[in-house]
Chain A
Amino acid sequence: MPDQTDQHLAAFNALDLSCSELFDEVPCWISIQDREFRVVKASRKLIEDFGEHRLQACYKAYKGRTEPCAECAVVHTFEDGKDHTSQEVLFDKRGLPHSVMVNTRALQNRAGEIVAVSKVFADISSEKELMNRLRDSLVRFHNLFDNAPCFITVQDRKFRIVEANRRFEEGFGDGLGTRCYETYKKRQDRCPKCPVAETFADGQVHTSEEFFVDDHARQVHVLVYTAPIRDATGEITSVMEMATDVTEIRTLQNKLANLGQLVGGIAHGAKNILEGLRGGVYIVNLGFRDNNQEDIRTGWDMVQRNVGRLSSVIMDMLHCARERSPRQLPVSLPDLLKEVLTLFAPRAAEFRIKLEAEADAAVEILGEPKDIHSLFSNLVTNAIEACNADQNDQKINRIVARVFQELDAAVIEVEDNGAGMDVATREALFKGIVSTKGNAGTGLGLLMSQKVVTEHGGSITVRSELGQGSVFTVRLPLRRQADFSSGEVQHGN
């Protein structure tokens, strides 16, 4: 439609473009378009970079399109006469893309009619590139934050969790807004020593080793690092706390340390047993040489005693190393108590220790009779040794072994008034590293006792005071009425 085009051109030419030279010299991309999107004028810079496209539709000239764009600032400006902006991608004459910010403004004739729209393109390619990089960085940061194999929180000055990663949510649920100590420690007030508070105070990285309690009430041993987060002015606005779960590592370390000490204890105990055996053989030989019956008897007693000790150590070791579930046979604890005390009566008498029994008539459990016998024997052996270690000559040493029922539990209790234990010894019990018997014990017995109790679904506790004595209490699940079809009651080994 040449007529229409000519009309538009005439209208455009009627515009007062007295600054046309300036228009050309501006080092920007500027075009003037008519209602048909045709480029009726372009700045020299636009022509230099994008080519001469006079009277070509802008979408074709700069975008290579055959149809007008769906959204077009030029259309809006023609419609309402106002300035509009848009972001577009243009292709220069070499085919390279340019992200541009477009600003449009209406051009009117003297009658006030909009006859054209000026369009200024600001190249924002580098800004766009930076924005893309920033977005990628943010995505990467969030991926790292979320997928880091530790609990990460960001906390404000009131220890409120304002951000948390996925690992945190898995362990502690949705804790956003809660206070750190409430969620991690299940406490009502803040911890006395807090690395987050320290970092807020001095802006330094702080570390600590702590115990959290997760949503499944599991204790989690963690290594905590805190670091400050500052705003543009350098002020600390929040603190990042990173807690790594080291529960398994610490458990393994403890087990290894205990194992090392246990092996040392066994080696030390074994040397004494060997010494006792050699001494026994030596004295027996003297007896044979001199036909001295007393020497033979003394030596032979030593051999027997130490063979018994060796056997006990080896059985305990075998038991500790064994990985199997105990059988579920009915065991009568009063019968077992009687049997064990009969077994130990001569030994107690030898050391002038009073050995007493108190038992409810029918307390039964389900378990491995040999194991329960060993457990009972170990507790009584310990009590005898504790009485022997007692330095108080004025005191009459006494051991009371009890069996009774308490709610759903069968209770075995062995009380002595022997040497007792200090706090440190008491706390180190059941780790296989403690013997209050000097050279006599390897510490294996208690470890073995604990294993038996655990395998039978029970618990073992101790109360003790140095110089006063000790009470070992074992609680085992009571044999229920429903279990009574499971067979003959057994005891002993």
Chain B
Amino acid sequence: MATSPKKKILVVDDEKDICIYLSRLFQENGFSVTCAANGDEALQAIEQDRPDLVTLDLSMPETTGVKFYRAIKSSPDLASIPVVFVTGVTGPGGPRDTEHFYSTRKQVPPPDGFVAKPIDPEEMLALAKKLTSGTRDKTATIGSIN
């Protein structure tokens, strides 16, 4: 019986150690992983690798997570890829990235998942498995909103 190809996850975080951590966590659980340290790198990686899931840190210098998210959700080719927001900032009224996202969510669909730092590895894995288990039916629906 042929083994199915590994699902690909793109980890976007400017914290090197978090990239290493999530990479090993996902690899250990059967995923293949690419890392990007900022929004620009992430855009290149997503075009190149077409991952099955993106975990995205919202607070990054330069091209922020929100900018990257808006860029992929406005692209017909990429909009169907599920995205999980990973941030130390939770809830409205917090620092500006989350606030900015909530204030502009009319223009972009909500993310497929939201994981708060410190990351609960079980929760993160469960979410990753769920979002990559089926086909891209769910995200396709989200993509069609655009």
A residues engaging B (CB < 8 A)?
Answer: 264, 267-268, 271-272, 274-276, 278-280, 282-283, 286, 295, 298, 302, 305-306, 389, 391, 419, 436-440
Known: A275-B118, A439-B88. A302 touches B21 (CB 8 A): yes
Contact B18 A275 (CB under 8 A): yes
Task: Enumerate chain A residues within 8 angstroms of B13, measured Cβ to Cβ.
Answer: 439
Closest CB in chain B relative to A18 CB, distance in Å: 99
Closest CB in chain B relative to A292 CB, distance in Å: 11
Chain A proximity mask over B18-42: 1 for CB below 8 Å, otherwise 0? 1011101100100000000010100
Please pick, from B28, B38, B88, B95, the residue contacting A286 in the complex, using a CB distance under 8 A.
B28
Q: With the chains together, A103 CA to B125 CA distance in Å?
A: 110
Contact A283 B117 (CB under 8 A): no
Residue on A with the closest CB to B95? A264
Contact B119 A275 (CB under 8 A): yes
Task: Enumerate chain B residues within 8 angstroms of A264, measured Cβ to Cβ.
Answer: 94-95
Contact B118 A268 (CB under 8 A): no
Q: With the chains together, A439 CA to B14 CA distance in Å?
A: 7
Please pick, from B14, B17, B62, B89, the residue contacting A302 in the complex, using a CB distance under 8 A.
B17
Closest CB in chain B relative to A365 CB, distance in Å: 34
Please pick, from A267, A272, A283, A295, the residue contacting B15 in the complex, using a CB distance under 8 A.
A272
Contact A302 B15 (CB under 8 A): no
- Most B CB atoms within 10 A — which of A389, A419, A439? A439
Residues of B contacting A: mostly? loop
Closest CB in chain B relative to A392 CB, distance in Å: 11
Task: Enumerate chain A residues within 8 angstroms of B94, measured Cβ to Cβ.
Answer: 264
Let me know if B59 is at the binding interface, CB within 8 A.
Answer: yes
Let me know if B52 is at the binding interface, CB within 8 A.
Answer: no
Contact B88 A272 (CB under 8 A): yes
Q: With the chains together, A268 CA to B121 CA distance in Å?
A: 19
Contact A298 B60 (CB under 8 A): no
Let me know if B61 is at the binding interface, CB within 8 A.
Answer: yes
Task: Enumerate chain A residues within 8 angstroms of B60, measured Cβ to Cβ.
Answer: 438-439
Contact A271 B61 (CB under 8 A): no
The total of chain B residues at the interface (CB under 8 A) is 26
Q: With the chains together, A278 CA to B38 CA distance in Å?
A: 22
Residue on A with the closest CB to B86? A275
Task: Enumerate chain B residues within 8 angstroms of A389, measured Cβ to Cβ.
Answer: 61-62
Q: With the chains together, A373 CA to B85 CA distance in Å?
A: 39
Q: With the chains together, A33 CA to B13 CA distance in Å?
A: 112
Q: With the chains together, A282 CA to B18 CA distance in Å?
A: 12
Contact A437 B89 (CB under 8 A): no
Contact A267 B21 (CB under 8 A): no
Contact B88 A283 (CB under 8 A): no
Task: Enumerate chain B residues within 8 angstroms of A278, measured Cβ to Cβ.
Answer: 21, 118-119
- Most B CB atoms within 10 A — which of A279, A298, A389? A279
Closest CB in chain A relative to B11 CB, distance in Å: 12
Task: Enumerate chain B residues within 8 angstroms of A271, measured Cβ to Cβ.
Answer: 88, 117-118
Task: Enumerate chain A residues within 8 angstroms of B95, measured Cβ to Cβ.
Answer: 264, 268
Task: Enumerate chain B residues within 8 angstroms of A437, measured Cβ to Cβ.
Answer: 61
Closest CB in chain A relative to B67 CB, distance in Å: 13
Task: Enumerate chain B residues within 8 angstroms of A419, measured Cβ to Cβ.
Answer: 61-62
Closest CB in chain A relative to B141 CB, distance in Å: 32
Q: With the chains together, A439 CA to B13 CA distance in Å?
A: 9
Contact A279 B57 (CB under 8 A): no
Task: Enumerate chain A residues within 8 angstroms of B25, measured Cβ to Cβ.
Answer: 279, 282
Residue on A with the closest CB to B19? A279
Contact A272 B21 (CB under 8 A): no
Closest CB in chain A relative to B43 CB, distance in Å: 13
Closest CB in chain B relative to A459 CB, distance in Å: 28
Contact A439 B89 (CB under 8 A): no
Closest CB in chain B relative to A431 CB, distance in Å: 15
Please pick, from B21, B40, B59, the residue contacting A275 in the complex, using a CB distance under 8 A.
B21
Please pick, from B21, B22, B59, the residue contacting A268 in the complex, using a CB distance under 8 A.
B59
Residue on B with the closest CB to A280? B17
Q: With the chains together, A415 CA to B24 CA distance in Å?
A: 37
Contact A275 B61 (CB under 8 A): no
Contact B14 A298 (CB under 8 A): no
Q: With the chains together, A29 CA to B123 CA distance in Å?
A: 105
Closest CB in chain A relative to B71 CB, distance in Å: 16
Contact A306 B24 (CB under 8 A): no
Contact B88 A268 (CB under 8 A): yes
Contact A440 B20 (CB under 8 A): no
Given A274-B118, A283-B21, A391-B40, 7 more contacts at CB 8 Å?
A: A264-B95, A275-B118, A275-B119, A276-B21, A286-B24, A391-B62, A438-B15
Residue on B with the closest CB to A279? B21
Please pick, from A280, A282, A305, A439, the residue contacting B121 in the complex, using a CB distance under 8 A.
A282
Please pick, from A267, A279, A391, A436, the residue contacting B17 in the complex, using a CB distance under 8 A.
A279
Task: Enumerate chain B residues within 8 angstroms of A267, measured Cβ to Cβ.
Answer: 88
Contact B24 A440 (CB under 8 A): no
